């Protein structure tokens, strides 16, 4: 396979990866018994068909090397049936990939009546869409082989500027530079976190399921307020971050900033739906302290910001911030990378929200595909990240957090109160002045 250029986000992620592993994971929960030999053969067939394998990097370009059908190498790990899935994923988030290793670690975990088929991967090689494509092909070779792909994936021959630059969208460079400068001014008014344990970047992952029917009630509540489902998630996240995170308070820093990960593929004029790579953007939402205690005001403020961001293509224009961060990374020592991000973009938390009802997984849910689990890393900008996933009428979220800043007991309270706040949002009549129950 020919070489491809590393895009700007890949270069940023790789820079952080030298400080601490920036791994992610996706896991399929499949009904019935799993056959490890069949699973492993399907995995290698998938790699061979898609043209994926170990990565070779030369300067600012990379390529995938063929696995040549060797099933002895790049094996699918068969975990002990007593393995705790969350503990295993936690360990893998913090385990570095070595040079020359396949940048994906497949595994299988057998349970009584079902099994997990998962993939831990270096995040710089792929976004969630790309990994869903890879897992789809692996799954199809086990359950619907006639539908499987025979052509190699496309490795994009271009970066963010080619696919999402101002010539491709509504944003203008001058306007977005001004937006970038205004955002820096806003960040001077948001709270910073205490940086105790700032050299310990290890992460912990926990999976949380919500009561049945909640997602449908939340959708109705969001429509009633002229908001999106993700706006409600952000509102609930804001409330738990405000209560539980170790902020450094000052009179000049009363607001709170939250980060939202955005999939950029659908925003490109080029066809990127089957491209294998990393194409993510991000936006930030500022929550005023006075708004945090009233649901209608908080949701309205968040919805207004996200609507404006969509109108101005702010997620695509996040390339401006990436350029600035990449330029600064040349002069910031690796040991000070975390402090650099926390100083210039002090986000309290982040969210990655995906509705899988629009992709292949919905066709096979709930039988044999019982559940689809996504795991996000925290990285240098946020101390915790919510990974919310909807499939069919089922909804769950993963919570990944930095151990040095958030204790396990606190994380449990954060998750429990996040669900409680979502229930309040779903049940609220949205009357003016409706306050959160303390």
In order of start, what are the domains of the chain with their CATH numbers? 4-147 (3.30.559.10), 160-355+374-427 (3.30.559.30)
The stretches of 351-436 forming alpha helices (DSSP H) are 408-427
Strands 349-355 and 384-391 turn out to be parallel
Strands 256-263 and 247-248 turn out to be unpaired
For residues 281 and 320, the answer to whether their CB atoms sit within 8 Å is no
What pLDDT score does 433 carry? 39
Give the dihedral sign, CA 116/119/123/125: negative
Q: Is 139 or 333 the better-scoring residue by pLDDT?
A: 139
The stretches of 188-254 forming alpha helices (DSSP H) are 214-224, 229-244
SS3 label, residue 389: strand
Tokens of residue 428, six digits? 């609220």
Gyration radius of the chain over CA positions: 21
What pLDDT score does 436 carry? 36
CB-based contacts of 368-372 (< 8 A; 24+ apart in sequence): 368/30, 368/31, 368/32, 368/143, 369/28, 369/29, 369/30, 369/31, 369/139, 370/29, 370/30, 370/31, 370/114, 371/28, 371/29, 371/396, 372/26, 372/27, 372/28, 372/29
Q: Please name the residues in contact with 287: beta carbons below 8 A apart, sequence gap of 6 or more.
A: 238, 242, 255, 256, 257, 258, 298, 301, 302
- The CA distance from 140 to 364, in Å, is 10
Tokens of residue 81, six digits? 């049936």
Q: Is 105 or 319 the better-scoring residue by pLDDT?
A: 105
Which element (helix H / strand E) includes 372?
strand 369-375
Lowest mean pLDDT among 103-117, 237-251, 423-437: 423-437
Lowest mean pLDDT among 170-179, 290-299, 304-313, 396-405: 170-179
Q: Mean of the pLDDT values across residues 84-111?
A: 96
Lowest mean pLDDT among 30-39, 114-123, 130-139, 246-255: 246-255
Tokens of residue 305, six digits? 């910001």
What pLDDT score does 438 carry? 30
SS3 label, residue 345: coil
Q: What is the mean pLDDT of the chain?
A: 89
Which of 404, 398, 420, 433 lies closest to 26 in space, CA to CA?
A: 398
Angle between helices 229-244 and 295-311 (to 10 degrees): 120
What pLDDT score does 323 carry? 80
Q: Mean of the pLDDT values across residues 385-408?
A: 96
Q: Mean of the pLDDT values across residues 186-206?
A: 84
Q: Is 348 or 158 the better-scoring residue by pLDDT?
A: 348
Q: Where are the beta strands (DSSP E) in 81-137?
A: 104-110, 114-122
What pLDDT score does 265 carry? 86
| Confidence tier at 164 by pLDDT (50, 70, 90) | confident
Which element (helix H / strand E) includes 350?
strand 349-355
SS3 label, residue 207: strand
What pLDDT score does 195 carry? 72
Q: Is 205 or 335 the better-scoring residue by pLDDT?
A: 205
Q: Where are the beta strands (DSSP E) in 145-255?
A: 192-193, 203-209, 247-248
Tokens of residue 139, six digits? 């799954």
Q: What is the DSSP string of 264-301?
A: -GGG-SS--TTB-S--EEEEEEEE-GGGTTBHHHHHHH
What pLDDT score does 23 carry? 98
| Confidence tier at 170 by pLDDT (50, 70, 90) | low
| Confidence tier at 72 by pLDDT (50, 70, 90) | low
- The CA distance from 438 to 435, in Å, is 9
Q: Is 321 or 379 the better-scoring residue by pLDDT?
A: 379
Which of 13, 3, 267 lies closest to 155 in space, CA to CA?
A: 3
Angle (CA) 248-384-97 rounded to 5° is: 125
SS3 label, residue 435: strand
Residue 98 backbone phi and psi in degrees, to 5: -100, 160
What pLDDT score does 431 carry? 45
pLDDT at 334 over 80: no
Which of 240, 293, 292, 257 lies closest to 418 in space, CA to CA?
A: 240
Angle (CA) 239-245-249 rounded to 5° is: 95
- The widest CA-to-CA distance across the chain, in whole angstroms, is 64
pLDDT at 197 over 60: no
What pLDDT score does 50 carry? 95
Name the DSSP class of 255.
B
pLDDT at 249 over 50: yes
Q: Which residue in this structure is represented by tokens 């963010």?
A: 160
pLDDT at 333 over 60: yes
What pLDDT score does 181 carry? 63
What pLDDT score does 319 carry? 76
For residues 14 and 37, the answer to whether their CB atoms sit within 8 Å is no
pLDDT at 5 over 50: yes
Residue 341 backbone phi and psi in degrees, to 5: -65, -45
């Amino acid at each position: 396979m020919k070489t491809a250029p590393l895009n700007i986000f890949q270069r940023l992620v790789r820079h952080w990866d030298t400080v601490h592993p920036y791994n992610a994971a996706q896991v399929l929960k499949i009904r019935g018994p799993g056959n490890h030999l069949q699973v492993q053969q399907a995995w290698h067939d998938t790699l061979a068909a898609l043209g994926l394998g170990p990565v070779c990097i030369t300067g600012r370009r990379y390529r995938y090397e063929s696995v040549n059908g060797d099933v002895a190498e790049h094996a699918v790990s068969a975990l002990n049936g007593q393995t705790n899935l969350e503990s295993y994923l936690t360990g893998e988030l913090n385990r570095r990939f070595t040079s020359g290793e396949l940048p994906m670690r497949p595994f299988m975990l057998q349970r009584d009546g079902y099994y997990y088929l998962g993939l831990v991967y270096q995040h710089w090689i792929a976004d969630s869409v790309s990994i869903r494509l890879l897992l789809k092909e692996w799954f199809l070779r086990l359950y619907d082989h006639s539908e499987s792909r025979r052509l190699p994936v496309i490795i994009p021959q271009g970066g963010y500027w080619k696919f999402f630059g101002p010539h491709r969208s509504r944003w203008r460079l001058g306007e977005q530079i001004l937006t970038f400068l205004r955002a820096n001014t806003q960040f001077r008014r948001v709270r910073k976190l205490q940086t105790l344990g700032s050299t310990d970047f290890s992460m912990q992952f926990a999976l949380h399921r919500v009561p049945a029917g909640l997602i449908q009630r939340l959708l109705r509540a969001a429509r009633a307020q002229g908001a999106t489902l993700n706006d409600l998630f952000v509102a609930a996240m804001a409330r738990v971050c405000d209560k539980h995170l170790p902020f450094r308070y000052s009179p000049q820093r009363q607001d709170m900033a939250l980060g939202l990960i955005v999939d950029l593929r659908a925003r490109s004029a080029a066809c990127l739906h089957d491209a294998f790579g990393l194409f993510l953007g991000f936006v930030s939402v500022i929550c005023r302290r006075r708004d945090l205690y009233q649901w209608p005001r908080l949701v309205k403020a968040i919805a207004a910001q996200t609507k404006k961001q969509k109108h101005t293509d702010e997620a695509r224009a996040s390339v401006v911030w990436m350029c600035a961060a990449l330029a600064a990374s040349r002069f910031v020592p690796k040991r000070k990378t975390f402090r650099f991000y926390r100083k210039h973009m002090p986000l309290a938390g982040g969210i990655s929200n995906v509705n899988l009802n629009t992709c292949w997984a919905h066709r096979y849910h709930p039988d044999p595909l019982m559940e689809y689990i996504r795991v996000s890393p925290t990285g240098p900008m946020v101390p915790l990240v919510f990974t919310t996933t909807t499939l069919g009428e089922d909804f769950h979220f993963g919570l990944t957090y930095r151990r040095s800043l958030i204790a396990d007991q606190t994380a449990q309270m954060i998750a429990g109160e996040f669900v409680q706040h979502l229930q309040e949002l779903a049940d609220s009549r949205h009357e003016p002045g409706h306050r959160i129950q303390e």
